[in-house]
Amino acid sequence: MPLPQTKEQPSTAQQQHGDIADFEEYDYEELPSTSPLTMHLIAGAAAGIMEHSVMYPFDIVKTRMQVVGSPSSVVYSGVTHALKVIKTTEGVRSLWRGVMSVVLGAGPAHAVYFATYEQTKKMLTSASGGKANALAAAGGAATVISDALMNPFDVIKQRMQLANTGYRTISDCAVKVFRAEGLRAFYVSYPTTLLMNMPFQSIQFGCYDVFRRALNPSGAYSPATHVMAGGLAGAVAAALTTPIDCCKTLLQTRGASADAEVRRAASMAEAARIIYRKQGMQGFLRGVKPRVIANMPATAISWTTYEYFKWMIARRNSGGSVHA
């Protein structure tokens, strides 16, 4: 916290401490107002790429466990077993199939997310004077726009993650899906994605703020705090939104399913009915363990990366040296 004003003239050391505290303490949602839009884009893109690519093998396991009408959903008895089977039967490289789709999509999508969030929040806060409502509206706008950009890449990623689909590259996958199922295949899961990401982001932001304040009441820049708070927030959000993610996976992989009923699914309600009829309530929790395992470090990385960029920008704007 900045040192309180007193009647005595502060020493040089106190002035320096106060200057550092001024730019070290800030809310997660905010970047310095003087930072240009490009800084928001760079910070968001870096966070997105790091978040989705580092734990990618666990995302593959999650997708295969959730698929309906595929042998993959029956063969794997657990996360460790799935990783071992995939590595042994398909090779180590198969654990990274489709990762370039994530890199190509997550960078721009997260850049747009954070940039839209920051700019919308700034405009709404100035117009209404109420920060709470502005944060909620800005988060919603950012999610709608970024998901619209990311959804086609996510469809390609999940198709590439399946076994024996015959897709050689992400471009080959995109062309074949478009020819066989049309443009609609890339957006049939978009409403479900929004229904999942809205609560996911709300839970994640809320939990992160609670954990961050509990672990670091002073609010100073602390990588260890960002890692722990981000990881815990990601785990909670991932676990609670797994049922919707199961529906999303069914819609995004329906074209690769051998089940005619699955191939005809066109909405979240239909996907939910199919899952319940074929797998019961347990079907809505399939893949929860690898989803939590993947999201916990991935979200921690995302928060920490974005916090670092904000800290670095604040240091630069304050004339300090840029060191973590």
Q: Is the pLDDT of residue 310 over 80?
A: no
Residue 209 has pLDDT above 50, yes or no: yes
User: Does residue 254 carry a pLDDT above 70?
Assistant: yes
14 falls within a domain: no
Residue 134 forms part of a structural domain: yes
Q: Are 113 and 145 within 8 A, CB to CB?
A: yes
Does any domain span residue 118? yes
Query: 11 lies in a domain?
Result: no
* DSSP conformation letters of 278-317: HH-GGGGGTTHHHHHHHHHHHHHHHHHHHHHHHHHHHHHH
Q: Kindly report the pTM of this predicted structure.
A: 0.72
- CATH code for position 274: 1.50.40.10
3-class DSSP assignment, residue 78: coil
SS3 for 178-231 is HHHHCHHHHCCCHHHHHHHHHHHHHHHHHHHHHHHHHHCCCCCCCHHHHHHHHH
Mean pLDDT confidence for 272-285: 94
pLDDT at 164: 76
How many domains does the chain divide into?
1
Q: What is the pLDDT of residue 237?
A: 92
Condensed to tens digits (0 to 9), the pLDDT of residues 100-123 reads: 888 888 778 877 887 787 778 778
Q: Summarize pLDDT for 6-46 with one digit per residue, the tens.
A: 334 444 444 444 443 443 343 434 554 555 666 666 766 77
User: Is residue 324 a part of any domain in this protein?
Assistant: no
10 occurs within a structural domain: no
Question: Does residue 279 form part of some domain?
Answer: yes
Average pLDDT in the chain: 79
- pLDDT tens for each residue of 144-159: 888 999 999 999 999 9
Specify the higher pLDDT residue, 136 or 9. Answer: 136
| Domain limits for position 296 | 35-317
Q: In the chain, pLDDT over 70 holds for what percent of residues?
A: 77
Q: Is the pLDDT of residue 92 over 80?
A: yes
Question: Is 4 a member of any domain?
Answer: no
Res 5: pLDDT:
38
Task: Label residue 70 by pLDDT band (50, 70, 90).
Answer: low
Residue 322 scores a pLDDT above 50: no
Contacts of 93 (CB under 8 A, 6+ apart): none
In this predicted structure, the answer to whether residue 280 has a pLDDT above a threshold of 90 is yes
